[in-house]
Amino acid sequence: MTQQRLLPVSRRAFLAGGTALASGVLASPAILRAEPAAVKVGLIHPVTGFVAYNGQQSRLGATMAIDDLNKAGGIKSMGGARLDPLLGDSQSKVEVGVSEVEKMNEQGVAAYIGCFQSPVGIAASQAAAKYNTPFLIDVGASDLLVTRGLKNVFRLKPGFGVCVDQGMAALDALNKGANSMAKSAVIVHESGEFGTGTSKLLSSKLPSIGIQVKEVISHDNPTRNFDNIALRIRSLAPDLVMMSNYQNEYVLLARTLYQQKVNLAGFYSFLGGGFNYKFVKEMPDVSQYMMDTNHWFNPKSEKAQALKKRVEATKALFTYELYLSYSVVMLLADALEHAASADKEKLLAALSASTFKAELMPYGPTKFVNGQNQGGRAATLQSLKGDIEVIAPAEFASAKAVFPRPKFT
């Protein structure tokens, strides 16, 4: 007599499969439990207030980077831990920035990124120091940020001291190439920490390259009319106007000088807050031939160009805040990979020893000394035919500079 099989598999196979299935089902909560905890990253930017656009760009760059990292599998050395952004708005106020630090600390933040405005960054990073939490400066020009001896502060980009030195060298080379025709300058700067610090450096260093400073003009934020300053510049008849101010004032001053047809050999700004694609695309005539030494992406980097395309596809602009914040998130992710932990001590040690390659930027390998990256450098740019071209350093240059600029007819 043959035994009829009710199941198409043997009893032994059925039992083995059933056991495997049951153990799989029973073990699944353990698998879920094993999923690594997300690493919370505090993003503190002025997304409202008078520099809201810049803050929003920073937030966009940082959140894009976090999305990219999470899609790529998170932090591998931490079992694929995802980054979880905590969004904070400093409202351009010091006390609100500090309040955000406190709030995010309660939420278990592993590191902060911010804050665009140096005064907010100074106070917020100081507050983060109490908890020994890393604070990465994405944008913030003041060298005070990294000269206070705080062990938790790291800045990937160069400060205005380095930017001025590099811009000065580029200007000297340009001027010498034009038979040193520029002999005088007027400096126009915003009256805050960033503009004043930059203008002081410029005033002391310009004579060393044969350019005399005829006058230093400071203006408040916000300033909504530059007619008088333009008239003053016209009466002083300098060869160069050198500007150091935020977005709105930068654009307004440039437009006023253009409208009043103030003839100059060149406009040369340092960390010009308004020298970006928005300005160049919206006002190609005004911006034509203007030059700026600023944070800029490496135009020869494929990753930078790909990110630029993605950003522009969303109708946003590829401004320096965006790719600096993006790069700083990548720096943090790299440190997390090396630390293999979000433990603050380990993360601080990993950041201090970081050799991160900022692929979007024209930087050398990262090396932090007192929290300042020594590999960071600025680029000198020129607006040409409605686009922004890199004119120095030579290895990243995408165009040849036009200097002096043609006169108004």
Partner 1 sequence: MTRQDLLPGLALVAAIALPLVAPGYLVDVGMLVFFLAFIGQSWNISGGFAGQTSFGHAVFFGTGAYTSTILQITFGWNPWLAWPAAMLAGAIVGWIIAVLSFRAGLRGSYFALITLAFAEAFRILANSLPFTHGGLGMLIKADPRPANFQFRDPIWFYYLALGLCIVSLLIAWQLTRGRFGARLVAVRENEDAARALGIDVFAEKVKALSLSGAIAAAGGTFYAQKYLYIDPNIAFGVDKSIEMLLVTMVGGAGTIFGPLLGAFALTGINEATRALASVVPALKNVQPLSLIVYGVMLILIVGRLPDGLTVLFRRIRRHA
Positions in the binding site for partner 1 (CB under 8 A): 47-48, 52, 56, 86-89, 91, 93-96, 98-99, 102-103, 105-106, 119, 122-123, 126, 129-130, 144, 148, 150, 190-193, 195-197, 200, 218, 221
Nearer to partner 1 (CB atom), residue 68 or residue 359: 68
Q: How far is the CB of 180 from partner 1 (least distance, A)?
A: 31
The two tokens of residue 18 are 């059933």
Nearer to partner 1, 143 or 292 (CB): 143
Q: How far apart are CA 272 and CA 142, in angstroms?
A: 14
Min separation Cβ 154 and partner 1, Å? 17
CB nearer partner 1, residue 48 or residue 374? 48
Query: Which of 86, 349 has the CB closer to partner 1?
Result: 86
**Closer CB to partner 1, 122 or 163, in the complex:** 122
For residues 159 and 375, which CB has a smaller minimum distance to partner 1 in the complex?
159
Please say which residue, 45 or 377, places its beta carbon nearer to partner 1. Answer: 45
User: Cα angle vertex 20, ends 17, 21, to 5°?
Assistant: 85
- The strand ranges marked E within 47-132 are 83-89, 111-114
The answer to whether 166 and 296 are in contact (CB under 8 A) is no
As measured in angstroms, the least distance from the Cβ of 123 to partner 1 is 4
The C-alpha atoms of residue 303 and residue 72 are separated, in whole angstroms, by 15
Report, in Å, the least distance between residue 200 CB and partner 1.
8
Calpha distance 345→134 (Å, rounded): 9
Q: How far is the CB of 196 from partner 1 (least distance, A)?
A: 3
User: Shortest Cβ distance from residue 223 to partner 1 (Å)?
Assistant: 13
In the bound complex, what is the minimum distance in angstroms from residue 48's beta carbon to partner 1? Answer: 5
The CA–CA distances, whole Å, from 254 to 244, 277, 337, 388, 408 equal 12, 15, 45, 16, 14
**Both tokens assigned to 233:** 């510049």
Closest Cα partner for 83 from 348, 271, 251, 334? 334
CA gap 370, 152 in Å, rounded: 10
Going from the C-alpha of 96 to that of each of 93, 101, 235, the distances in angstroms are: 5, 9, 43
